[in-house]
Structures are given as C-alpha cells and as structure tokens.
C-alpha cells in the first residue's frame, strides 16, 4: 500500500521535473483546455488513491478514468468555447467538488488507521 503512495509521489516529482525541463509550451489558445484536463487528471489520481484505500482499486478503471476524464474536460471546454458558454466551469466545479470529496474520504481512511 505505502509503496503505491511513494510511487505516486515519486512519479509526480519526476513528471514535474521532466515537464519543467521539456522545451515544450502549448499554444495559449489551448492553455485553457490543458488546465481543465490537468484538473480532471488530478481528480482521477485522488479517486485512484481513494479506491486503493477502500480496497476496490481496479487498474483498468483507473487508467481509463484518468484519460477519459481529462479528454472529456478538455472537450467540454472546447465545445463551450465554440458555443459561447463557459462550459469548462462545469468541469471545474464537478472535478473540484469530487476532488475535495476524495480528499476528505482519504483523510478519514488515513485517520481511521
């Protein structure tokens, strides 16, 4: 269990280091989509941690959830922009709320132990 947490932290640190050093910047027009996608991805990871703590972690669910959430959030932002509605706010609110819920559940699980 704790190996997973450490692996997650290690991966995150490695990813941030890599991202900061990669000479890649996305165009400004797509920065909005990327930000929503990143939020969705964060939610997925917290959801995965929560699932692991509740012992019904499924690798496939985790991976597909991660990518589909990210793509859906970015897609929502994209469509919202085309429609003239700030649809990405829906993604922000939904994933934000879930993020806090997941965090609270994780906290409880950790405190229970």
Instruction: Please give the torsion angle defined by the CA atoms of residues 102, 37, 9 and 96, in that order, rounded to the nearest 10 degrees.
Output: -30
With binding defined as CB under 8 A, does residue 15 bind other proteins? yes
In sign, the C-alpha dihedral spanning 47, 48, 52, 57 is positive
With binding defined as CB under 8 A, does residue 82 bind other proteins? no
In this structure, which long-range contacts are made by residues 8-16, counting pairs with CB atoms below 8 Å and at least 24 apart in sequence? 8/45, 8/49
Closer to other proteins by CB, 52 or 94: give it: 52
User: Site for other proteins (CB under 8 A): which residue of 2, 55, 56, 59?
Assistant: 59
Mask 26-45, x = binds other proteins (CB under 8 A)? xxxx-x--xx-xx--xx-xx
Closer to other proteins by CB, 28 or 82: give it: 28
Q: Whose structure tokens read 């405190």?
A: 111
End-to-end CA distance of the chain: 13
Closer to other proteins by CB, 8 or 90: give it: 8
With binding defined as CB under 8 A, does residue 3 bind other proteins? yes
CA 65 to chain centre: 9
User: Site for other proteins (CB under 8 A): which residue of 9, 71, 93, 104?
Assistant: 9
Counting residues that bind other proteins (by CB under 8 A) gives: 39
């Amino acid at each position: 269990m704790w190996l997973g947490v450490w692996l997650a932290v290690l991966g995150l640190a490695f990813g941030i280091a890599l991202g900061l050093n990669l000479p890649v910047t996305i165009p400004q027009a797509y920065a909005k989509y990327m930000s929503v996608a990143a939020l969705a991805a964060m939610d997925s990871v917290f959801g995965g941690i929560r699932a692991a703590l509740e012992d019904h972690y499924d690798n496939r669910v985790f991976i597909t959830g991660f990518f589909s959430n990210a793509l859906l959030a970015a897609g929502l932002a994209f469509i919202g922009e085309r429609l003239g509605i700030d649809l990405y706010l829906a993604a922000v609110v939904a994933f934000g709320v879930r993020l806090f819920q997941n965090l609270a559940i994780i906290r409880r699980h950790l405190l229970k132990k």
